[in-house]
Amino acid sequence: MTYDIIGNELKELLGLKGSPVAVKLVKNKADIPAGYDKVPEKSRHCQFVQDARLTGTKGYATKEEHMCKGGAGVMGIEPIPESVAKGNTYHKLGNFKTAEGALDTVNAIPKSKGSYYASLYSPLETAEFEPDVVVIVATPRQALRLSQAYLHEKGGRVSSDYSGIQSLCADAVVAVRERGVPNMTLGCNGSRKFSGIAEEEVILGIPPKNLPAIAEALKMFKDKWG
């Protein structure tokens, strides 16, 4: 699939701020494409997505570069810290009234079935690899158009499965990669605080296989609805 055309079409047709972001989980260093360097600074998955989206950054992050160990853990880049896996972290932060509620929630969070060496990032229009997921940060209206475009061909429903924690990692990448269908999420305290996801923005993870039909539907919508 040629992502340069589709990436630019999505930006233009939706009026996106920045780019759709290609994300891939790679098994070993040999899977890193030529020209993709390790990210220069330690940060969080949500920030790596934002860097690719807003500044065109391309690169990969191993467990050493991932500061958010919960995010790296659900993506399979390193083991999930015990305090996160048992819900203690989110209970202490005040996300949940009880420890049991915190544990039930983290047990339900999507998690990678395999183990991975690194997460790989690029703006979609310059991606030189086959993404696992394309992450789009959008306004609600843009998310509406994406949802309508996804459903245009066959109908159905769009999932919005989230819990307000581990949003851009578990909800927008792992859930979509494992299930093979889009998912919409609202961000989390961390992604909004540390990576600048704005109040008026939501996040969608989309399987790459769906992008050609989505782009074609968006063109039709533009012709019919303006």
Render pLDDT for 67-96 as a digit per residue (tens, 0 to 9): 999 999 999 999 999 999 999 999 999 999
- Which contacts qualify for 30-35: CB closer than 8 Å, 24 or more apart? 31/117, 32/60, 32/118, 32/120, 33/120, 33/128, 33/129, 35/128
57 pLDDT exceeds 90?
yes
Render pLDDT for 197-221 as a digit per residue (tens, 0 to 9): 999 999 999 999 999 999 999 999 9
2 pLDDT exceeds 90?
no
Residue 12 in tokens: 């233009």
